[in-house]
Structure 1
Amino acid sequence: MSELAVTTASASKAAADEELVHQYLSFILHERRYALDGLCVREIIEYQRTTKVPMANRCVHGVINLRGAVVPVIDLSLRFNHARTQIDRRTCIIIVEVPQPEAPQILGILVDAVSEVLEIAPAQMNPVPAFGNSIRSDFIQAMVHREGDFIILLAIENALAVAEIAALPDGTKALSA
């Protein structure tokens, strides 16, 4: 193969990889960096008081009124079986659209702070380790090494599985109206 053909093939592969770069919103939760696919992020809002929901799973922080729609807010820290998120001036709610088998669901996730938008190519993603994770491995899409630390890319459809969250803390389902 000629040198020109190899160079052209390399340039084509680099261009194809560049097209596959996705944007991820990174955020902080208990001093750890996480990120989620930017395509599922609808908006970021300042923390606002929520209305508690009786008999809800413990990770459901409450609900908010978002332009006339009732949006459940999930304390992601409790969802990961960590301590409750401490509310301060940097705490915010990320409004996401979560793919679900029936229909997409709009949810809010409570986080300590939003960091930045990252551009990540598939080649930068590392597989999920089999052990040693601080959260369930099915909640993790991949891990990315940046600035001397790992960022956990969330598999949002698993981490925020509505059917699982709707189950009561003892595993039973809530009565539907």
Structure 2
Amino acid sequence: MGSLDSHDKTELVGHGSQFLAFRLGDEEYGVEILRVQEIKGYSRITPLPNTPPEMKGVMNLRGAVVPIMDLRTRLGMREAEYTVFTVIIVVTVGTKIVGLVVDAVSDVLNVEPDEKLPAPDLGAGVDTSFLNGIARTGERLVSLLNIDKLVGNANEPSLSV
């Protein structure tokens, strides 16, 4: 038997994964917590010409120019008014940093391996490649996003400064 200290560390580390849960309308999504750099209140974004609708523009984050993507638009949802709960989740995608506009952040989920289900097969013509799976925590179902596939080339526009 291990000491109480090693038991506590095992419970803290666990075998699961942690996800930052957030809302878009009535739907709940999660992104790997290790990919999240920070969460910022919604602030001024400088629009860029000739960009896809989901690209809202760029913002200055401590001297770095960061592209900002509206996840509602990216996922094909209708646009909504930004509120006091609207936030920008700043994530790392490869070596780049991207801001994701979401309706609100809920909490941090600890997802054990047996609580993570594969993304459902919705048939031909329905792209679910941006999903890593579905987390089932209690009565909640949270869509776990594959941020690399979802954001893809969102950070590709050349931002010559």
TM-score in terms of structure 1 length: 0.76
Q: Which of 144, 148, 156 pairs up with 2:147?
A: 156
The structure with the largest alpha-carbon Rg is 1
1:105 aligns with 2:100: no
Deviations 1:102-135 (A, max 9, x none): xx21000000000001111222101111118xx8
1:55 aligns with 2:50: yes
Residue 131 of structure 2 is matched in structure 1 by 140
CA pair 176-106 structure 1, distance change in 2 beyond 3 A: closer
Residue 84 of structure 1 is matched in structure 2 by 79
| Distance in 1, Cα, partners of 2:82 & 2:146 | 25
Residue-pair matches, total: 148
| Distance in 2, Cα, partners of 1:46 & 1:115 | 14
Gaps of at least 5 residues in structure 1 are 1-14, 168-173
Matches within 5 A, 1:27-38: 27-38=22-33
The CA RMSD over aligned residues, in Å, is 2.3
Mapped contact 1:85–1:111 kept (Cα < 8 A): no
Q: Which of 44, 63, 71 pairs up with 1:68?
A: 63
Counterpart code for 1:47:
Y
Q: CA deviation at 1:149?
A: 2.9
1:125 aligns with 2:100: no
Counterpart code for 1:72:
P
Specify which structure has the higher proportion of helix.
1
| Distance in 2, Cα, partners of 1:148 & 1:67 | 40
Deviations 1:33-58 (A, max 9, x none): 00000000000000002000100111
| Distance in 1, Cα, partners of 2:155 & 2:79 | 18
